[in-house]
Structure 1
Amino acid sequence: MKCIITIIQVLLMSSLCICTLSPPADKKSQKGVKPQEGTRKNNVLDRKLVVETPYVKDVLKYHATYHQDISIRNFKNTVLGYVTPWNNKGYDVAKTWAPKFNYISPVWLQIKRQTPNIYIVSGLHDVDHGWMKTVRQKGMDTNLKILPRLLFENWQPSDLKAFFMEPTSMTEQKALIEEVKKVCRQWMFDGIVLEIMSQIGKYIDKSVKFIQQFGLEMTEDDLSLILVYPPFRGYPSDEFFIQAFNEIYPYVHAVSVMTYDFSNPQKPGPNAPLYWMRLCIEKLIGKEENPSKRAKILLGLNFYGNSYTANGGGPIVGTEYIELLKNAKANQVLTYNNNTAENYIEVRTSQGTKKIFFPTLYSIQKRLDLAREYGTGVAIWELGQGLDYFYDLF
């Protein structure tokens, strides 16, 4: 009996020793990837990081590193970057890489019709004058302008009818324009990015003359007007937007085309296939060799991605992407699709297998090459969602 007890004690002690000498497996140390961050003497192109099928370990290791000289512009065409109040990192990105941008658009403002001929701009509580001053100072060499986005929000059918259809509609439109110009002067904005076309439903065909007048009056006051524009999706309304672009572009400083959200949880897939982005440009420019027309197109670039499961999924930002990649093997590569010019990867997580589409240095470079080919600019939605080393490409 004593012998049996002794044997049991020895086995228990051995088990305890094994537990003590064998620490829990650390996923990060198993990968052998030690993330780096901060400035480097060379940019991502010189460091040979812009490759078609990058290794997971290289993304994990280098995503937070970037070229020490942030004043160098590798993309010479117009660049607009959106910033949102719900993603504070975007504010820091705008300050750090200000010389890379021509326009920064904080998503701050909404406009509503209060009573006949009285319009109210809301969202001004989000305005940060200290941040605006810093961004302008750092973007001095490119004459960077700050144009908050202005959204037509929650308009009632009666308001839209009065604004576009009633005999007094011209007076209504004039009142709105005057209010916007007043806010720009008081709050020291350089203009606005106007999002109206997705908000006004059946009155969309009435918006062209209003936008033309809006653009003229803003220009007269040395203010910029950029218009948010839908992409080509094969809808019956697409032909209207193609024709409307020809009538609108001479009156605005640029048109920010929303070439992203090609897929969704109901139809999982790439964020913005390159062939579709090319089609969107070609539909707008037609067969014209008109450099000034092309230059006013800002091709939308998503800096977010999507993570899909068998049950759905949704958008992810850079920090979430990096965490998901830690579930992959260090030597696993991000698969590249030649047709869409996007990378993707499948990883196993505690929530099940996820298929992830997220921008890479290579996929962004392909889209910048497309913009160079056609002479367009780009609009990034949104700053702070991507990875730090993306900005070396701009």
Structure 2
Amino acid sequence: MKYITTVIHILFLFDACFSTLSPPTDKKGQKGVKTQEGPRKNNVLDRKLVLETPLVKDIIKYHATYHQDLSTSHFNNPVLGYVTPWNNKGYDVAKTWAPKFNYISPVWLQIKRQAPNIYIISGLQDVDHAWMKAIKQKGSASNLKVLPRIIFENWQVSDLKAFFLEPSLHSEQKALIEEIKKSCKQWKFDGVVLEMLSQIGKFADKSVKFIQQFGSEMSDDNLKLILVYPPFRGYPNDEFFIQAFNDIYPYVEAVSVMTYDFSNPQKPGPNAPLYWMRLCVEKLIDNDENSVKRLKILLGLNFYGNSYTANGGGPIVGTEYIELLKNAKNNQALSYNNNTAENYVEIRTSQGTKKIFYPTLYSIQKRLDLAREYGTGVAIWELGQGLDYFYDLF
């Protein structure tokens, strides 16, 4: 998943490990703004914080507060949350708001082809059984499932040819499926989130039958398979993925569509324009009223942002965003673009002027409304990057 991988390599530096269950406190911020923390009697909707152009000082003040009722859901379709080992706050978020999620996907696993018909899963040293048990207990009402993400790692062209093209492909694919199922049973996973389509290049058109077989065999063993899926970008192979979805969705629990990373330092701009996300959904559903098909689409929501300068810039997480906002002018409000349905703000810092795109309560609500309109679920990349009060909306 090259778009997410770029973010991953940068974000591991910004580990923010702190609890979300601390009692209400006040911390002195820059320019006299106090940051409030902890549970509150009312949610962000009741507190009138979901505004099109919020004030910077209000974001700084309230971002670490959240509704004391952690179990009531405001979004009734499936929700997947990714958690990464390099951003430990995500583990706390998953535990705190477990009832809001249907699936939690810790980014732990890699699978390699070691030799003909021999596959090795690495990353199992990151598995935290106590954490898995805790989130499942707290998420019992939503019947929460833990599905680690597993990614094809260091596959050579010879490996892909053996897997997708050679006469032995049936035994190769069978061996991989059996190794993953064995690990799920041994480590008490409910299944996996499989990321492979963005890594296999020209072999993607050979993947459909494998995914169908994989999904069927996982289902036979009462295990779930979610497939990471590319968004529509106007690339030559986009039409293949659109058509392949019709052949794939009956065999998988869901597809997690990567509707983020629309812009980058070479092309600065919004993280995931709403019109583009709408297009991605419409391409997959193709006017089909099948509600089962729609529910199997998990629309990607980025909980990270980007800070751009004249010399480039790059991704930021919530803790960095708040620190940047402390450089804003008094009573400065965020700007809002009706076309993209994203907020942004320009701030002068010691490193120069920065234009910052980062999710707000309002932009997230607009995307949840889009998911409700089309009957899809959502997938959050990733839980440790967001602000605490975001979860009031789910």
Q: TM-score, normalised by structure 1?
A: 0.92
Q: Tell whether 2:115 aligns with 1:115.
A: yes
- Cα 1:30–1:191 change in 2 (3 A) is closer
Structure possessing the higher radius of gyration over alpha carbons:
1
- In structure 2, C-alpha distance between the alignment counterparts of 1:29 and 1:245, rounded to whole Å: 48
- In structure 1, C-alpha distance between the alignment counterparts of 2:29 and 2:138, rounded to whole Å: 39
- Cα 1:29–1:37 change in 2 (3 A) is closer
**Structure 2 partner of 1:385:** 385
**Structure 1 partner of 2:178:** 178
User: 1:108 is paired with a residue of what secondary structure?
Assistant: strand
How big is the shift at 1:236? 1.0
Kept in 2: contact 1:56–1:328 (CA 8 A):
yes
User: 1:314 is paired with a residue of what secondary structure?
Assistant: strand
Aligned pairs for 1:188-203 (under 5 A) are: 188-203=188-203
The one-letter code sitting in structure 1 at the alignment partner of 2:62 is Y
Q: Count residues in correspondence.
A: 367
Aligned pairs for 1:146-295 (under 5 A) are: 146-295=146-295
- In structure 2, C-alpha distance between the alignment counterparts of 1:371 and 1:61, rounded to whole Å: 29
Q: Tell whether 2:49 aligns with 1:45.
A: no
How big is the shift at 1:201? 1.2
User: 2:248 is paired with a residue of what secondary structure?
Assistant: helix
User: 2:77 is paired with a residue of what secondary structure?
Assistant: coil
The one-letter code sitting in structure 1 at the alignment partner of 2:81 is G
Unaligned runs of 5+ in 1: 1-27
How big is the shift at 1:55? 0.2
**Structure 1 partner of 2:354:** 354
- In structure 2, C-alpha distance between the alignment counterparts of 1:378 and 1:82, rounded to whole Å: 11
- Cα 1:29–1:183 change in 2 (3 A) is closer
User: 1:347 is paired with a residue of what secondary structure?
Assistant: strand
- In structure 1, C-alpha distance between the alignment counterparts of 2:213 and 2:147, rounded to whole Å: 18
Report Cα offsets for 1:12-45 as digits up to 9, x if no partner: xxxxxxxxxxxxxxxx777331110000000000
User: 2:340 is paired with a residue of what secondary structure?
Assistant: coil
Kept in 1: contact 2:117–2:175 (CA 8 A):
yes
Runs of 4+ in 1 over 2 A off after TM superposition: 28-32
Kept in 2: contact 1:299–1:377 (CA 8 A):
yes
The one-letter code sitting in structure 1 at the alignment partner of 2:45 is L
- In structure 1, C-alpha distance between the alignment counterparts of 2:32 and 2:129, rounded to whole Å: 44
- In structure 1, C-alpha distance between the alignment counterparts of 2:165 and 2:60, rounded to whole Å: 55
Unaligned runs of 5+ in 2: 1-27
Kept in 1: contact 2:301–2:381 (CA 8 A):
yes
- Cα 1:30–1:249 change in 2 (3 A) is closer
Kept in 2: contact 1:55–1:330 (CA 8 A):
no
**Structure 1 partner of 2:97:** 97
**Structure 2 partner of 1:321:** 321
How big is the shift at 1:202? 1.1
Kept in 2: contact 1:110–1:152 (CA 8 A):
yes
**Structure 1 partner of 2:333:** 333
- In structure 2, C-alpha distance between the alignment counterparts of 1:29 and 1:133, rounded to whole Å: 37
How big is the shift at 1:214? 0.2
The one-letter code sitting in structure 1 at the alignment partner of 2:272 is A
